[in-house]
């Protein structure tokens, strides 16, 4: 499994979660944040798949944004939804942080 697959999965989960939050509660911030983070993951995945630069960095940025918004809320509220988002963020931080740390390189074709 390449680095693009987890990014596509995270893109679908975060964007889908934002849309679901909007449908269930009418929350504009949910759809805006979910679709924005999902778009960052999706763009990162596309760039990784096409072997373009800054794909891993975009996915890592999306993970940092998601973690920065969900982890404090999960600690404060102790609710399952922020905790689940925090787990997604931690998975992204681990996956794309390791790829960045190990020097994921774009191969020239």
Give pLDDT tens digits for 45-82: 999 999 999 999 999 999 999 999 999 999 999 999 89
3-state class of 50 per DSSP? coil
How much of the chain exceeds pLDDT 90, in percent?
Answer: 88
As given in the structure block, the two tokens for residue 53 are: 């630069």
The tokens for 79 are 């609710």
pTM: 0.91
Measured in whole angstroms, how far is the alpha carbon of residue 49 from the centre of its chain?
16
What whole-number distance in Å separates Cα of residue 67 and Cα of residue 62? Answer: 9
């Amino acid at each position: 499994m390449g680095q693009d697959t987890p990014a596509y999965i995270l893109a679908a989960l975060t964007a889908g979660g934002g849309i679901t939050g909007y449908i269930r509660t009418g929350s504009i911030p949910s759809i805006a944040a979910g679709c924005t983070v999902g778009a960052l993951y999706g763009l990162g995945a596309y760039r990784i798949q096409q072997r373009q630069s800054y794909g891993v960095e975009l996915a890592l940025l999306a993970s940092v944004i998601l973690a920065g918004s969900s982890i404090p809320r999960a600690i404060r509220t102790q609710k399952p939804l922020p905790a689940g988002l925090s787990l997604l963020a931690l998975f992204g931080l681990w996956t794309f942080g390791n790829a960045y740390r190990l020097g994921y390189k774009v191969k020239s074709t």
